Amino acid sequence: MEKNNTYKKGPDAMRYNGERRTSLSEDNRQKMSKRVSYTIEGPIFIIKLNDPRHLNSLTFDDFVYIAMLLEKANSDDSIFITVLQSSAKFFSSGGKFEAVLESKGKEDDIGSLNNLIGMISSPNVFVANAFRTHEKLLVCCLNGPAVGLSACIVMLCDLVYARDDSVYLLFPFSNLGFVAEVGSSVTLPMKLGINKANEHLLFSKPLTFADLQGKLINKNYQMEDTDEFNKQVVRDLQAQLVAADAPLRNMKAMKRQITEGTGYRSSLLRAQGLETMTTLPFWHEGEPFRRFEQMRSKQRKHKL
């Protein structure tokens, strides 16, 4: 039976019901990903992107690791909130070109096709489902622009806080020769409206702070330093937990009411199959690989 936990503020601000929480060692985290790490601060599970030199771009394995961390946070009854953070001025420029191009195999080769199916279904099924089924409050600290699959996971969060008004989201799928992925065919129309989703998905047009304010973004912190922004969001979340004094069971139940009552959760489930099977032929035909290669060789300009 699930414990009816509540977050209680003790003498130590990072204390949960009198017990200090710790995370796995740095060595164990680095074995999983050099670009993604996690820490636990009281009732808050923090996932952080740590490769600012490369604009926090991610491999497919990195996205899978994020999904694994979501499952870890989900199964821990001492965790009330899961937070996604990044570093420097860019949340994430999306998938690494090299990771995409490494997935290209020989045409009409069964092994290559099997690998391609795995590459497509990994983010569209496993990663998307980890976000869809996450029972804890999922918060994004949006410190800067997010592109592609990284923009998709921002859209899957329950609350989004912006560092300042320089943030934007970009979904360059049509520009790269394929279609909406990782739930974006659902999240954009449901959270921003169908017409705006059409405009920004079909034309690969950036969603600016003005487009997102009051629809996706809950608050603009208007801060310069990303580290201070990340810390302030965590402090504010802890204060809100104390003020709400809500048991974990209640918070999870209310999130479930909202996501199931609106049809949001079931729509995301349907999108997993639809997005996977709709995008797969484009990748199999090879056009996205050609366009990623053009970007790597600078024949095609990236819309960052």
Task: For the chain, list the domains and their CATH numbers.
Answer: 15-296 (3.90.226.10)
User: Is 181 one of the catalytic residues?
Assistant: yes
- List all residues 6 or more positions away from 132 whose beta carbon is below 8 Å from its beta carbon: 156, 183, 265, 268, 269, 272
How many whole angstroms separate alpha carbon 190 and alpha carbon 207?
15
Q: Within the chain, where are the H helices?
A: 26-32, 60-74, 97-102, 110-121, 128-132, 149-155, 184-192, 194-202, 209-212, 226-244, 248-261, 264-285, 287-296
Compute CA 36 distance to the chain's CA centroid, rounded to the nearest angstrom.
Answer: 12
- pLDDT given for residue 26 in this prediction: 46
Q: Taking the model in full, what pTM does it have?
A: 0.91
Catalytic residue (one of 181, 224, 260, 285): 181
Give the separation between CA 40 and CA 55, rounded to whole angstroms: 24
Sequential pLDDT tens for the chain (304 residues): 455 677 766 433 333 443 335 444 444 444 578 999 999 999 999 999 999 999 999 999 999 999 999 999 999 999 999 999 999 999 999 999 888 998 786 666 788 889 999 999 999 999 999 999 999 999 999 999 999 999 999 999 999 999 999 999 999 999 999 999 999 999 999 999 999 999 999 999 999 999 999 999 999 999 999 999 999 999 999 999 999 999 999 999 999 999 999 999 999 999 999 999 999 999 999 999 999 999 888 888 766 6
**CA-CA distance, 216 to 22, in Å (whole number)?**
31
Q: How far apart are CA 10 and CA 7, in angstroms?
A: 9
Predicted pLDDT at 50: 98
Q: Which helix (H) or strand (E) holds 54?
A: none
